Chains A and B, each alone.
Chain A
């Protein structure tokens, strides 16, 4: 007992007066076996738990592939109204993988966002920026209107009413062999500056772009 309170405890089990201690050993056989079998159990459990965990959360880190998809000839799309087109975001799951994209030709008198070869045509996602319901373009009102919680957007996809936290997402477009093609999705803030795609409900103005960071699965 007095050993326990002494300043310098010996490394040797014999000096610590542990029953059954052998000369020269620093760890008793009982302690060695206890730690050894617990370590073996831990390694065995980790050898299936860690791969299973990695398997489950792997998709978070994998960038989803995306293709360019033709939606029609360039003269099909006016510059003052939208044409609804259907593209496949996820192949192999039938209707569930498709979405509606509203497309029109770029109009220099109303479109103020960055102009480059990927925005000769404006492609607006029908996915509401509130919680992801499908918005529709109402021609008479010149508004995108969401049926779920009453989100309303103007011709450029900017929020004019309801709960959405940012404008409607857009898709990159390009022209190939006279056809308009729809590419990957990107999100825009209220100034229509481009950001990597965010999920609905995630604001990207101000501090929002840091609170809802870009994900490895969907880069710009």
Chain B
């Protein structure tokens, strides 16, 4: 392939132009300052020589995208950043939270909200961010549906996406109990009982969620463990698989874009 012509350098004021090397400096010897300049590149080189990560990074990030790619295509990464925000704020909230149903849980949330520096802000990000994530998941799903991006060969990615949607709803359901105020308690009672209305298996499912026949001592810690350990791990793993398939299969062109006709076909029509 022929090398593309190089763009001419923009005009620069003389004061900003790099001075030409002095005699004796450009004879192949590097000064400590040169080493310092190269430090970043050499660290990357050192890692890359041992892992070959740059190839994977190039494969993931420098992909061909179809014509007509537009802002709707950013909803997936927006959802992922919402998840990352939930993960980070959640980890720091867990440093203060106590899953103690006899008053400790509510007290620890009150402490975070009212007394911890930036506590109200970080908790607010987690609380409102959860709604943002659910909204973004549905918008992303709608984009995929209306653009026909679930069709062959991307069906598996749609299935993974549906599992991610269910896991996101599980996160919303289990996270709702954790503040352990009146709303959290009664919403969970109602939610668990809705699970119980499934025939045959429903009664056992609600026993599993509560850890017994009544809302008890282990219900809150069960919900907490599901909310911060079980489901986030599954979510992260499936988001990885989702992204891998996106990179592997590429994105679809929007449905209003017609495929380019071959030159000879155009000629024949003319």
Binding site for B on A (CB under 8 A): 56-57, 59-60, 62, 64, 89-90, 92-97, 131-134, 148, 197-202, 211-213, 215, 217-218
Q: Does B216 contact A (CB under 8 A)?
A: yes
Digitize B120-159: 1 where CB-to-A-CB distance is under 8 Å, 0 elsewhere.
Answer: 0000000000000000000000000000000000000000
User: CB distance A199 to B199 under 8 Å?
Assistant: no
A133-B204 contact given A90-B214, A90-B215, CB 8 Å threshold:
no
Which residue of A56, A96, A133 has the most chain B CB atoms within 10 A of its CB atom?
A96
Q: Which residues of chain B (150-204) have a CB below 8 Å from chain A?
A: 180, 185-186, 189-190, 192-194, 196-197, 199-200, 202-204
Digitize B210-252: 1 where CB-to-A-CB distance is under 8 Å, 0 elsewhere.
Answer: 1111111110000000000000000000000000000000000
What residue in chain A is nearest B191 (Cβ atoms)?
A131
A96-B196 contact given A57-B208, A59-B208, CB 8 Å threshold:
no
What residue in chain B is nearest A99 (Cβ atoms)?
B214
CB B205 to nearest CB in A, in angstroms, measures 9
User: CB distance A60 to B207 under 8 Å?
Assistant: yes
Q: Does B103 contact A (CB under 8 A)?
A: yes
Given contacts A97-B214, A132-B189, A202-B197, list 15 more A-B pairs with CB under 8 A. Answer: A59-B218, A60-B207, A90-B216, A92-B102, A131-B190, A132-B193, A133-B189, A133-B190, A199-B192, A200-B193, A200-B196, A201-B193, A202-B196, A215-B203, A215-B204
User: CB distance B190 to A211 under 8 Å?
Assistant: no
User: CB distance A60 to B208 under 8 Å?
Assistant: yes
User: CB distance B193 to A215 under 8 Å?
Assistant: no
Residues of A with C-beta under 8 A to B189 = 131-133
Residues of B with C-beta under 8 A to A213 = 200, 203
A201-B213 contact given A94-B102, A132-B189, CB 8 Å threshold:
no
User: CB distance B203 to A93 under 8 Å?
Assistant: no
Which residue of B192, B203, B213, B216 has the most chain A CB atoms within 10 A of its CB atom?
B213
Docked CA distance A141–B190 (Å): 26
Docked CA distance A152–B181 (Å): 26
What residue in chain B is nearest A127 (Cβ atoms)?
B189
Residues of B with C-beta under 8 A to A201 = 193-194, 196-197
A64-B202 contact given A93-B101, A201-B194, CB 8 Å threshold:
no
User: CB distance A59 to B102 under 8 Å?
Assistant: no
A-B pair count, CB < 8 Å, reads 91
Q: Does B79 contact A (CB under 8 A)?
A: no
Q: Does B206 contact A (CB under 8 A)?
A: yes
CB B236 to nearest CB in A, in angstroms, measures 20
User: CB distance B214 to A89 under 8 Å?
Assistant: yes
Residues of A with C-beta under 8 A to B214 = 64, 89-90, 97
3 closest A-B pairs by beta carbon, nearest first, are A94-B102, A218-B213, A201-B197
User: CB distance B202 to A131 under 8 Å?
Assistant: no
27 interchain pairs (CB within 8 A)?
Answer: A56-B208, A57-B208, A59-B211, A60-B208, A90-B216, A92-B217, A93-B101, A94-B102, A96-B185, A97-B215, A97-B216, A131-B189, A131-B190, A131-B194, A132-B189, A148-B190, A197-B213, A199-B193, A199-B206, A200-B193, A211-B199, A212-B203, A213-B200, A213-B203, A215-B203, A217-B207, A217-B212
What residue in chain B is nearest A63 (Cβ atoms)?
B213
Docked CA distance A128–B208 (Å): 21
What residue in chain A is nearest B197 (Cβ atoms)?
A201
What residue in chain A is nearest B103 (Cβ atoms)?
A94
CB A135 to nearest CB in B, in angstroms, measures 13
Residues of B with C-beta under 8 A to A93 = 101-102, 216-217
A199-B190 contact given A59-B212, A59-B218, A92-B217, CB 8 Å threshold:
no
User: CB distance B217 to A90 under 8 Å?
Assistant: yes
Which residue of B200, B203, B217, B218 has the most chain A CB atoms within 10 A of its CB atom?
B203
